Amino acid sequence: MDTFIKGPSKRDVAGMKAAFGAIEASEVISVLYKTERFGNFLVTGAAHTTVLDDVMVGGLNAAAAKKKAKASDGSEVMQRQPDKDVRAFPAQFEGEFSPEDVEVSQLGHGDLVVASFSQEPYGDFVITGVVTEAENDRSYLMVGPWILQTAQGNAPRLLNVQLVAGNGTHIAPVPTRRGLVEVDGLA
């Protein structure tokens, strides 16, 4: 599991372009993302195509609209450019793990979790990744860009969360606590 969350040492952009090109709406896919703010996280759910034909999973951009490209044999194929934060697709688990049910309030920064969410139009999806806390609000927990909990309680879109491994007991990269994001110079 830990090897998987770290992702490959190099992105296979050509392979991802071809794999994304074959995706149809509603097909269940798994995409590994890597961001500085949220670390590495896997999103598994139904592919959702936008009005512009981009592919999303769990509300996140995965790949751009289909474009014609030339295959090595000279034939035409349809491909999609993966989003810059996509580290691997298709993404598959390597190894085994036994997550345990946990209350969100028991989680902290750096814990490795599997969380399920439901949000229309994306349906139900699962995110596997490291919990991040806000710098100045330890109750504001996220996995990837999805909220697990705020001071008001569990996020309304959260269905379930399970602990895979506590902070310090896994080798998944742990990002720094999330600071305030400035917009037009204002925090």
97 SS3 class: coil
Q: Which residue bears the tokens 């996995």?
A: 143
The domain spans of the chain are 13-88, 100-165
- Please state, in angstroms and rounded to a whole number, the distance separating the CA atoms of residues 122 and 21: 19
Burial class (CB in 10 A: 0-12, 13-18, 19+), 107: buried
Structure confidence at residue 138 (pLDDT) = 85
Per-residue model confidence as pLDDT tens for the chain (187 residues): 444 566 778 899 999 999 999 998 899 999 999 999 999 999 999 999 999 999 999 999 999 999 999 888 888 999 999 999 999 999 876 667 789 999 999 999 999 999 999 999 999 999 999 999 998 888 899 999 999 999 999 999 999 999 999 999 988 889 999 876 555 555 4
DSSP-H helix ranges across 9-66 = 13-21
Residues contacting 15, CB < 8 A, separation 6+ = none
Architecture of the domain made up of 100-165: Roll (2.30)
pLDDT at position 150, please? Answer: 92
Cα distance between residue 179 and residue 67, in whole Å? 38
**Which helix (H) or strand (E) is 146 found in, with range?**
strand 146-150
